[in-house]
Structure 1
Amino acid sequence: MPPDSNFTTVSNPLTSARGGGGCPPVGIQLEGLIMPPVLIIDVILGFMGNIVALWIFCFKLKAWNPNTLFLFNLVIADFFALVSLPLRIDALLRGHWVFGDGMCRINLFLMFSNRSASIALMTVVAIYRYFKIVHSHHRFNRMTKRQAAFVSVLVWLLVISPRVPMLAFNHIKGSGEKTQCFFFTSYKEASRSIIILVGMHRILTVLEFIVPMAMLLFCSVRISCFLKQRQMGKPEKVRKAMRMCGAIVAVFIICFLPTTVTTIGVWVIRSFRPWDCTAFYTFTQLTIVSLGLNFLNSALDPIVYVFSSSMFRKALLELLPCRKDEGQKRESSSGNQSTTQQELKTLKAECGSEAVQSAGP
């Protein structure tokens, strides 16, 4: 990361920063080596999976329910990230940001909003399934599509509102061919407003993982215990319900846990070891790199759709070539059976007429 005029430049970033005005925004550039291939994979897999998902939602699902509407909003959240990542990839490959201040603000806003929206919507899907199974007579299960749309709008407002202030500030670091677009790069920022904004971001990053994760684990355990105690249906029913919860929990842990851990690390170092620039640089770079895993959720979310919606799963299976072949074989076999039955009926009729003729005078 390029040095900023607001910071005291030091020749060795690993030295102590006592009395030096904090650690300057100089890093070890891990993101330039690791993030481009990770983000490219995220974009390719994400676009492939979500374009198929969007096509199924728009053209294959004839009847929508609240669960389907929540999943559709999750697709929209994924596209927020997917349209912003190509600019980030370009900046990493070039080594600097060339799209200006306005696009930098929008880019950061979309990336961080995707994380929050994905977490919130997956949590809503898990809670909806929890009420459907454990509290089947609760009025929550009588939710209409209009009410589900209202819940979706409320989720978006809660997600976007804390991120809107990001659009009000300049996040460009450096100048010329050393320009970078980063949300946080140092201990000291240009103004008190930025310091408050970065602090709020770190609090949200931790809370929006810990609270939904606790709710997901609660829903998963309760669903499993309820189905096993009531012995509802075959064991396969229990497995299907747990697959959905397991898929969401797995996406949470793989995509969002690393960012939460590294953010806590930066927070602890800044609060209790402000002179330890070595640890600060390491955790700052790891935080930026872990963002690549955040956006992996855009590629993994189609798995959540498969396990969370039987209608989506059925529509997806109908698109597979092997399923089409099986369907054609079934139609052919049913056609052959109907032809055979018709031939038998004709043969019986002929035999009956011959019997009548032989019995005649």
Structure 2
Amino acid sequence: MVSEPNFTTPSPGGGCPPVGIQLEGVILPPVLTIDVILGLVGNLVALWIFCFKLKAWNPNIIFLFNLVIADFLALVSLPLRIDALLRGHWVFGDGMCRINLFLMFSNRTASIALMTVVAIYRYFKVVHPHHRFNRMTKRQAVFVSVFVWLLVITPRVPMLAYNHMKGSKNKTQCFFFTSYKEASRAIIILVGMHRILTVMEFILPMAMLLFCSIRISMFLKERRMGKPGKMRKAMRVCAAIVMVFMVCFLPTTVTTIGVWVIRSYRPWDCTAFYTFTQLTIVSLGLNFLNSALDPIVYVFSSSMFRKALVDAMKLVSSEGWLGSALERGRLTSDI
């Protein structure tokens, strides 16, 4: 058990002292290492299939490909974070600190936005098959993807403009929210914007995902389309995305709200602030688990991807259990 630090009471100058590295220094390195290994394996396979095995792309594939790019941006940021946690301090300088934080938080937003687009695309395919949205061209899908990236990056750009380093020499830390006392007014505003985004970018897409899932289920039941097995297959896309959302992003949202409430209504309670801030940082490990789980979304979201994966597995072993399992679950066409 990690001992309780001595800086959980307000300092004479007001505000709570920096949090530093305690609990996250023990838990995060192995968790992030697993995230990197699983994420790289899954996404390298996905990238190989997208680039070399898919002969024809559709809007859904374009959205999924952008999700792979978002995952890689996150994965390249993690080794530096793992190194800093193992050392106990940050050695890569202010510039890399800014870029690292920018990539970390941009990935979360990009993954959420792109998974939501995939779910909405499936919703229109099933519930509104004649809607003009379903006649989207590949060029239009690229424009949608670019718009999503601009929407994701714009609110995070200010993170690159400010110094997030704390401490000096062999005690430097690179964290976005570690104290009240040392923060300038600009940083306080930036952190406030970050917390609002963290909460809203979970709640709004989650509501849209639940709406899409419920409407797809109701539509198929009302129309009695196909067999129960077909209904389950149509629901797997939204179910897979909802699962990733709940596992990877709900903990960070809850702990961020906790820090927000304490900062606003109990600024003297440094013990609670320390606890929730530590939990917020630790929950980042689950945030990056989405890079390892996203390949599940690819499999459930596209029969083209699934068929290409099955064919690739057959090259390895035509009798392999994984290839056989995927072959049995393959859909003949995208809904």
User: Is this a same-fold pair by TM over 0.5?
Assistant: yes
Q: Which amino acid aligns with 1:145?
A: K
SS at match of 2:243: helix
Contact 1:35 1:292 in 2 (8 A): yes
Q: What are the Cα deviations for residues 25-75 of structure 1, in whole angstroms up to 9, with x where unaligned?
A: 135711000000000000000000000000000000001000000000000
Q: What are the Cα deviations for residues 291-324 of structure 1, in whole angstroms up to 9, with x where unaligned?
A: 0100000000000000000000011111224885
Alignment of 1:83-122 (within 5 A): 83-122=76-115
Shift of 1:325: 2.2
SS at match of 1:247: helix
Q: What are the Cα deviations for residues 187-213 of structure 1, in whole angstroms up to 9, with x where unaligned?
A: 244321111100000000000000000
Corresponding position: 1:14 with 2:14: no
Contact 1:53 1:302 in 2 (8 A): yes
> What is residue 284 of structure 1 aligned with on the other side?
277
> What is residue 127 of structure 1 aligned with on the other side?
120
> What is residue 312 of structure 2 aligned with on the other side?
319
Measure, in 2, the Cα distance between the counterparts of 1:189 and 1:70: 41
Contact 2:21 2:85 in 1 (8 A): no
> What is residue 55 of structure 1 aligned with on the other side?
48
Q: Which amino acid aligns with 1:212?
A: P
Measure, in 1, the Cα distance between the counterparts of 2:226 and 2:151: 38
Gaps of 5+ in 2: 321-335
> What is residue 329 of structure 2 aligned with on the other side?
none
Q: What are the Cα deviations for residues 234-267 of structure 1, in whole angstroms up to 9, with x where unaligned?
A: 1111000111111000000000000000000000
Measure, in 2, the Cα distance between the counterparts of 1:323 and 1:243: 27
Q: What are the Cα deviations for residues 105-163 of structure 1, in whole angstroms up to 9, with x where unaligned?
A: 00000000000000000000000000000000100000000000000000000000000
Contact 1:30 1:289 in 2 (8 A): yes
Q: Which of 212, 219, 227 is 2:205 aligned to?
A: 212
Q: Which of 138, 146, 149 is 2:139 aligned to?
A: 146
> What is residue 40 of structure 1 aligned with on the other side?
33
Contact 1:318 1:324 in 2 (8 A): no
Contact 1:189 1:195 in 2 (8 A): no
SS at match of 2:283: helix
Measure, in 1, the Cα distance between the counterparts of 2:319 and 2:272: 58
> What is residue 191 of structure 2 aligned with on the other side?
198
Change beyond 3 A, Cα 1:190–1:326: closer
Contact 1:39 1:295 in 2 (8 A): yes
SS at match of 1:325: coil
Structure 1 length-normalised TM: 0.85
- Please identify the structure whose Cα radius of gyration is greater: 1
Gaps of 5+ in 1: 1-10, 328-361
Measure, in 2, the Cα distance between the counterparts of 1:18 and 1:189: 11
Please identify runs of 4+ aligned residues in structure 1 that moved more than 4 A. 321-324
Contact 1:18 1:275 in 2 (8 A): no
SS at match of 1:320: helix
Q: Report how many residues are paired.
A: 316
Q: What are the Cα deviations for residues 50-104 of structure 1, in whole angstroms up to 9, with x where unaligned?
A: 0000000000000100000000000000000000000000010111111111110
Measure, in 1, the Cα distance between the counterparts of 2:275 and 2:26: 14
Contact 2:164 2:175 in 1 (8 A): yes
Q: Identical aligned pairs, as a percentage?
A: 84
Q: CA RMSD in A?
A: 1.6
